[in-house]
């Protein structure tokens, strides 16, 4: 069986990434850390790789978004 070497190339400002095969955006849960390694797409079921650098970028984006979201929630609770 041929091993797939497709790598994720796209991460958005929320820390989510897209499948390199079908381009579906894989949305991570609140405070979820992305790890490097091989995984399968939940939509097309094909295998792809998440590099260490991409995981770091995605996790940093996620932390920034989570902090901003927490500030907004606190402001709304105090209003």
Q: Are 27 and 41 in contact (CB under 8 A)?
A: no
Q: Is residue 45 part of a domain?
A: yes
Reported as a pLDDT band with limits 50, 70 and 90, residue 79 is: confident
Reported as a pLDDT band with limits 50, 70 and 90, residue 74 is: very high
Q: Is residue 12 part of a domain?
A: no
Q: Is the pLDDT of residue 2 over 60?
A: no
pTM score:
0.78
Q: Where are the beta strands (DSSP E) in the chain?
A: 17-18, 25-26, 37-40, 47-50
pLDDT in tens, 15-73: 999 999 999 999 987 778 899 999 999 999 999 999 999 999 999 999 998 899 899 99
Number of domains in the chain: 1
Which domain, by its residues, includes 51? 17-78
Identify the pLDDT of residue 71: 94
Q: Taking Cα atoms as reference points, which of 60, 68, 75 lies closest to residue 28?
A: 60
């Amino acid at each position: 069986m041929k091993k797939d070497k497709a790598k994720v190339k796209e991460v958005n400002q929320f820390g989510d990434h897209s499948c390199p095969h079908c381009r579906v955006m894989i949305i991570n849960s609140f405070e979820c850390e992305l790890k490097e390694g091989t995984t399968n797409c939940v939509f097309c079921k094909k295998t792809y790789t998440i590099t260490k650098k991409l995981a770091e970028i995605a996790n940093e984006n996620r932390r920034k978004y989570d902090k901003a979201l927490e500030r907004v929630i606190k402001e709304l609770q105090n209003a």
